[in-house]
């Protein structure tokens, strides 16, 4: 029996695609040059400041040559104002002027380590804690080494204690050269003989045992599965989840190397194909909804794409609009969403395809402080996972929209403009002190507009001009 004829929607490339994508191609070339320089910095071959702050912010409005000159002047003025304001506040001892995340350069970290550590001990010691990709066998050997140390301490009638890198807020550091949050070199102990620490020590050893079983079977489990293996001991899933990150830092591997994953959340559609555990996946032929980003990123191989850029979308509703309109066929691209706050798999997937394909990432988020906070997690990482920021972050993401200046520029109706709450305003002011905002004067200007006007808007507000306005007018103009 013959299959029914295909009713697949055919969408041709847009007539203005070359003009619209020209800027993306230019940005792609710049991105590849910066990637080479960043790799040199991380390998220690170059010791100069990151040039991320020199990026031209060309995605706010359609720009002419005069506009570009104005932006460059504005950028210089903004940088001077920012530096001046910061200096004055620091002189007054105003705690609010300090970024929420501690900021230190690699040189400052080295000096700090030398000042607090003997020369013999400092030699070969890392200034930051960063994990690396490991095989299942290597992770199992790491767990067995920890078990041997525990056994020796118990046989010596000393009880036992675990040496664990500190993941406290005071040990989270933003390094400008790396353009991400990393984990400092502070360490702590977890003693079974200490009444306050004995339960946490017991949970840690139990998790080590369970992980060894999972790795020996070469299977993956979810964090929820892990919790239900010993509910009486863990009591709450946050207990077992937190210990997972501790174990990863102890062993020196990524959390995904422990074979414990979160449920999939992200979606991808567009001009990208790959093999997932031996199965070929073409994301242009995965239906209207696209492909779920798998939690097992290590099983993805042979990534291929002819896309000019990656469009990172905060909301699933906006993502579905682009998927149904097959925006990626009109303007060759890859569309990704994590449906709000990004999960580890989505962040790792974005980081990996960006690294391999070397194409720019353009972000479409709500015009509110939380949209920018979500963007910061993609770009600079989260404090909870700072030890694995190298594989989870994607630097140089361009903020395409929805920007506060767009509200007037596109004459967004008043009923679509929402009043910011006190908490929104507080979050916005805190973001003005964050490094990833401060390094970009144009972003500072946009956030200042938001805080001053006390108005926010969602991406879906553009639907007030028509359901397909975002794909047919807004994005091409941007």
pLDDT reported for residue 86: 41
Binned at pLDDT 50, 70 and 90, residue 211 comes out as very high
What Rg value do the Cα atoms of the chain yield, rounded? 24
CATH number at residue 163: 1.10.10.10
pLDDT band at 167 (very low <50, low <70, confident <90, very high): confident
What confidence score (pLDDT) does residue 101 get? 65
300 and 246 housed in the same domain: no
201 and 163, same structural domain? yes
d(CA 226, CA 440): 42
Is 61 part of a structural domain of the chain? Answer: no
319 and 351 inside one domain: yes
Whether 340 and 281 share a structural domain: yes
| C-alpha distances out from residue 297 to 20, 181, 337, 344, 379, Å | 32, 22, 16, 10, 19
Give the pLDDT confidence of 413-462 residue by residue, as tens digits.
888 888 988 888 988 888 888 877 888 888 888 888 888 888 888 888 88
pLDDT tens column, 2-16: 555 555 555 556 666
pLDDT at 129 over 60: yes
CA distance 208 to 125: 25
Residue 374 has pLDDT above 60, yes or no: yes
What does the pLDDT read at residue 207?
Answer: 92
Chain-centroid distance, C-alpha 31 = 17
| Banded pLDDT at 269 (limits 50, 70, 90) | very high
Residues 18-41 pLDDT 10s: 666 776 777 777 777 777 766 665
Its domain, for residue 229, covers 136-261
Q: Domain for residue 54, yes or no?
A: no
Q: Indicate whether 297 belongs to any domain.
A: yes
Identify the domain boundary among 202, 229, 261: 261
> What percentage of the chain reaches a pLDDT higher than 90?
15
- Answer yes or no: do 299 and 360 share one domain: yes
Instruction: Answer yes or no: are the C-beta atoms of 378 and 393 closer than 8 Å.
Output: yes
Tokens at residue 299, please?
A: 């099983």
| pLDDT value for 100 | 62
Token look-up 């293996």 returns 229
Q: What pLDDT shows up at residue 143? A: 92
Give the span between the Cα atoms of 38 and 278, in whole angstroms: 32
Q: What is the dihedral of CA 68, 360, 378, 293, to 10 degrees?
A: 150
Q: Are residues 465 and 400 in the same domain?
A: yes
Phi and psi at 292, nearest 5°, equal: -70, 135
Joined tokens for residue 186: 């502070």
Whether residues 299 and 241 fall in one domain: no
Domain identity same for 226 and 350: no
Q: 123 or 217: which carries more pLDDT confidence?
A: 217
Buried b (16+ CB within 10 A) or exposed e, 112-140: ebeeeeeeeeeeeeebbbbbeebebeebb
- Do 457 and 394 lie in one domain? The reply is yes
The Cα-based distances of 472 to 180, 358, 417, 442, 476 in angstroms read 35, 26, 22, 26, 7
- Domain end call among 261, 288, 309: 261
238: in domain:
yes
Neighbours of 6 (CB within 10 A): 7
Residue 106 lies in a domain: no
Residue 414 C-beta-side C-alpha neighbours within 13 Å: 0
Q: What's the structural domain count of the chain?
A: 2
CATH number at residue 428: 3.40.1360.10
One domain for residues 196 and 341: no
Mean pLDDT score, 162-184: 82
Q: Average of pLDDT values for 230-257?
A: 89
3-state secondary structure the chain: CCCCCCCCCCCCCCCCHHHHHHHHHHHHHHHHHHHHHHHHHHCCCCCCCCCHHHCCCCCCCCCCHHHHHHHHHHHHHHHHHHHHHHHHHHHHCCHHHCCCCEECCHHHHHHHHHHHCCHHHHCCCCCEECCECCCHHHHHHHHHHHHHHHHHHHHCCCCCEEEEECCCHHHEEEECCCCEEEEECCEEEEECCCCCCHHHHHHHHHHHHHHHHHHHHCCCEEHHHHHHCCHHHHCCHHHHHHHHHHHHHHHCECHHHHCEECCCCCEEEECCEEEECCEEEECCCCCCCCEECCCCHHHEEEEECCCCEEEEECCHHHHHHHHHCCHHHHCCEEEEECCCCCCHHHHHHHHHHHHHHCCCEEEECCECHHHHHHHHHHHHCCCCCHHHHHHHCCCCCEEEECCCCHHHHCCCCHHHCEECCHHHHHHHHHHCCCHHHHCCHHHHHHHHHHHHHCEEECHHHHHHHCCCHHHHHHHHHC
CA 121 remoteness from chain centre: 34
pLDDT per residue as tens digits for the range 68-87: 444 444 444 444 444 444 44
Contact yes or no for 202/233 (Cβ under 8 A): yes
Residue-averaged pLDDT of the chain: 78
Q: What is the pTM of this model?
A: 0.74
| 113 occurs within a structural domain | no
Could you tell me which residues are beta bridge partners of residue 281? 274
* Residue 453 resides in a domain: yes
Q: Decide: 173 and 181 in contact? Cβ < 8 Å.
A: yes
**Active-site residue list:** 228
Quote the tokens at residue 94. Answer: 């105003």
Q: Are 135 and 469 in contact (CB under 8 A)?
A: no
Residues 144 and 273 in one domain: no
Whether residue 237 sits in one domain with residue 154: yes
**pLDDT score recorded for residue 69:** 45
**How do 309-313 and 187-191 pair as beta strands?**
unpaired
In a domain, 160, yes or no: yes
Q: Spell out the residues 6+ positions from residue 271 whose beta carbon is closer than 8 angstroms to its own.
A: 283, 284, 305, 306, 307, 328, 332, 333, 334
Phi, then psi, of 69 in degrees rounded to 5: -65, -40
């Amino acid at each position: 029996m013959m299959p029914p004829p295909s009713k697949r929607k055919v969408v041709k490339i847009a007539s203005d695609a070359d003009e619209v994508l020209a800027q993306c191609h230019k940005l792609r070339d710049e991105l590849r040059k910066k990637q080479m320089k960043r790799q040199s910095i991380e390998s220690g071959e170059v010791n100069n400041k990151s040039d991320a702050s020199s990026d031209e912010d060309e995605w706010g409005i359609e720009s002419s040559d005069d506009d570009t000159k104005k932006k460059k002047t504005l950028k210089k003025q903004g940088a001077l104002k920012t530096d001046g304001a910061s200096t004055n506040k620091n002189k007054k001892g105003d705690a609010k002027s300090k970024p929420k995340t501690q900021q230190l350069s690699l040189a400052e970290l080295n000096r700090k380590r030398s000042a607090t550590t003997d020369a013999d001990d400092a030699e070969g010691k890392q200034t930051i804690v960063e994990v690396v990709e490991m095989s299942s066998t290597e992770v199992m050997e790491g767990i067995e080494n920890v078990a041997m140390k525990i056994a020796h301490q118990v046989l010596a009638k000393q009880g036992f204690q675990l040496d664990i890198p500190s993941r406290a807020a005071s040990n989270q550091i933003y390094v400008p050269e790396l353009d991400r949050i990393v984990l400092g070199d502070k360490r702590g102990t977890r003693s079974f003989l200490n009444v306050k620490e004995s339960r946490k020590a017991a949970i840690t050893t139990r998790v080590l045992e369970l992980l060894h079983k999972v790795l020996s079977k070469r299977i993956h489990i979810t964090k929820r599965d892990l919790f239900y293996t010993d509910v009486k001991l863990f009591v709450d899933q946050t207990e077992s989840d937190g210990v997972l990150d501790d174990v990863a830092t102890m062993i020196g591997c990524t959390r995904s190397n422990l074979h414990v994953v979160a449920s999939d959340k992200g979606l991808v559609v567009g001009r990208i194909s790959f093999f997932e555990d031996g199965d070929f996946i073409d994301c242009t032929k995965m239906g209207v909804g696209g492909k779920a980003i798998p939690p097992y990123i290590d099983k993805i191989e042979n990534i291929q794409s002819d896309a000019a850029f990656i469009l990172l979308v905060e909301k699933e509703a906006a993502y579905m609009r682009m998927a149904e309109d097959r925006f990626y066929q009109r303007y060759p691209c890859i569309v990704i969403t994590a449906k709000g706050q990004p999960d580890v798999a989505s962040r790792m997937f974005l980081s990996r395809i960006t690294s391999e394909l070397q194409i720019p990432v353009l972000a479409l988020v709500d015009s509110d402080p939380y949209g920018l906070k979500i963007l910061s997690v993609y770009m600079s990482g989260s404090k909870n996972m700072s030890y694995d920021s190298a594989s989870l972050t994607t630097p140089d993401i361009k903020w395409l929209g929805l920007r506060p200046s767009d509200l007037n520029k596109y004459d967004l109706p008043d009923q679509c403009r929402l009043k910011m709450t006190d908490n929104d305003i507080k979050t916005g002011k805190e973001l003005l002190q964050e490094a990833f905002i401060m390094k970009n004067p144009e972003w500072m200007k946009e956030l200042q507009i938001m805080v001053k006007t006390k108005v926010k808007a969602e991406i879906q507000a553009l639907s007030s001009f028509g359901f397909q306005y975002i794909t047919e007018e807004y994005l091409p103009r941007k």
